[in-house]
Each structure stands twice: as structure tokens, then as C-alpha cells.
Amino acid sequence: MLVAESQVDGRERALVECAAPSLFPPHVSCVAVRFPASPPASALAVLPRELADARPERQAAYLAGRHCAVRALDALGLPPFAPPYDGPNRPPVWPAAAVGSITHTGSYAAAAVARAENAVAIGLDAEGLVSDRRARGVATLVAHHEEMDVARRAGLSLGEALTVLFSIKEAAFKCVYPIGRTYFGYLDAKVECPARRRGSGAGGTASD
Ligand SMILES: CC(C)(COP(=O)(O)OP(=O)(O)OC[C@H]1O[C@@H](n2cnc3c(N)ncnc32)[C@H](O)[C@@H]1OP(=O)(O)O)[C@@H](O)C(=O)NCCC(=O)NCCS
């Protein structure tokens, strides 16, 4: 479903599907949307109890992510089922036949899903661009010097480099955490592949 003339003051007034990131192999179904700052009243009934009193932005983000998940499952021929919420900082609970990942930032949400026989896990993350000023303050908390050097040598600004590395690490965490249920921090992971493409999203699958 693609709807034109859907923005008011630069924000969506309805949930609209947009081009999904082409980060994944063909067996991964990826759906992305732009969504409004607050959810329609008609959707509130399907929110999990924990989010009943959450800010409207959080409710809207949750619902947009679930919309993407349902559509991505459907595209794989799996029952279009919204994965239940398992609490803050917990992975969504996917049906046994599927693995997947959800992200939302600002007014953008996306989900990537694969059949469980094709992938062990998926990590997907989207981030708004971090400013150079902010990146200067937090770079050492997120990235090793070598990682920043590689990203800067590829032509990224400080903010772009930090955003890409942060997003890759968040995607990696979302991919790996559901397998071992082990928490690890940004400096526990090391990105060794130079980021050649500009962008503010990251995704990957674990297949063995
Ligand atoms: C969990 C975490 C990665 C979420 O990332 P985020 O950029 O804050 O948020 P996003 O919008 O991109 O993703 C949120 C979605 O991720 C999913 N998610 C939450 N916790 C998750 C986890 N532990 N594992 C997998 N997916 C998770 C959920 O679907 C969530 O959306 P929902 O609450 O509406 O269901 C982040 O909050 C976090 O805890 N990071 C610290 C751990 C980390 O990244 N370490 C780096 C290792 S290199």
C-alpha cells in the first residue's frame, strides 16, 4: 500500500509503506513504513498492556514495527501474526517458523523476517544521523579507534562514521542476543568490514 499526499507539516498523517532497505539476501522479506507521531485511536486496542500508558510516539512506533512484521511474514507465506512484546530491551517473540528483527527511528519503521529454515537470526537497525559534535562526545563509548579510522578513510564524516558503526553494532546485537540471550556492549564487538555504502541503516542474518 503506497499512499501519496500523506504528509502534514513534514510528518505522516497515516501509516504509509515506503521502499524497504536492500540489505538482505532474497530469502529475507523486508517491509518499511513511515508513520504518524501518534497512533489512530482504532489501533490502541491491540497495544500490549505495558504500552497502554506509553507516549503516543512510542505507541505509534510499536504499532508501525508490528505492521511491518505482519506484512513481512505474509510476504513469506507465513501466518500474518504480530510478534508479541516481551518487555523493554527484549526481542519480539516470533512464531516458531520465523526469525526476524524490528527497528524504528523518528517516523520510520521496518522489519526483516525469514523462514526459520533459512536463517538462524536477523538483525536490523535504522538510526538518525548523529551530528559531528555529538559523535565527538560519544565516539570512544561506541567504537574502537581502528573502526573509526576505517570508516573515516572510506570518506565518511565523523557523525556518519559513528552512526554507521553504532547502527551495525545495534543490528549485530539484535541478531545475536535472541540466540544466546547474552548482553554485550558496543566495545565488545568489532566491525572489521569497511563501510563502503553511505546510509543510516544496518542489517544482517546469522545462518550458521
Ligand atoms: C535493544 C537495542 C539494540 C534496541 O535498539 P534501538 O536502536 O534502541 O531501537 P530500535 O528501534 O532500532 O529497535 C527496537 C526494537 O528492537 C527489538 N529488540 C528490543 N530488544 C531486543 C533484543 N534484546 N534483541 C533483539 N531485538 C530486540 C524490539 O522489536 C524493539 O522494538 P519494540 O520494543 O517496539 O518491539 C538497544 O536498545 C540496546 O539495548 N542496545 C544495547 C546493547 C547493544 O546494542 N550492544 C551493542 C553490541 S555491539
In the predicted model, residues of the chain with pLDDT beneath 70 are: 1-12, 193-208
Query: Over the chain, what is the mean pLDDT?
Result: 89
Q: How far apart are CA 188 and CA 33, in angstroms?
A: 32
Q: Residue written as cell 547474552?
A: 182
Per-residue pLDDT of 17-59, as tens digits, reads 999 988 899 999 999 999 999 998 888 889 999 999 999 999 9
pLDDT score at 206: 61
Q: Say if ligand 1 is within 6 A of residue 123 CB.
A: no
pLDDT score at 139: 97
Q: Say if ligand 1 is within 6 A of residue 189 CB.
A: yes
Q: How far apart are CA 4 and CA 99, in angstroms?
A: 32
pLDDT score at 14: 86
pLDDT score at 3: 32
Q: How far is the CA of 9 from the centre of ligand 1 (A)?
A: 29
Q: How far apart are CA 70 and CA 1, in angstroms?
A: 14
Phi-psi region of 77 (alpha: psi -120 to 50; beta: other; left: phi over 0): left
Q: Residue written as cell 574502537?
A: 144
Q: Say if ligand 1 is within 6 A of residue 147 CB.
A: no
Q: Say if ligand 1 is within 6 A of residue 173 CB.
A: yes
pLDDT score at 82: 95
At position 90, the amino acid (one-letter code) is R
Q: How far apart are CA 28 and CA 83, in angstroms?
A: 17
Q: Where are the alpha helices (DSSP H) in the chain?
A: 56-75, 132-142, 145-153, 158-180
Which atom of ligand 1 is closest in space to residue 88's alpha carbon? Answer: 33
Contacts of 165 (CB under 8 A, 6+ apart): 142, 143, 147, 148, 151, 191, 195
Q: How far is the CA of 4 from the centre of ligand 1 (A)?
A: 31
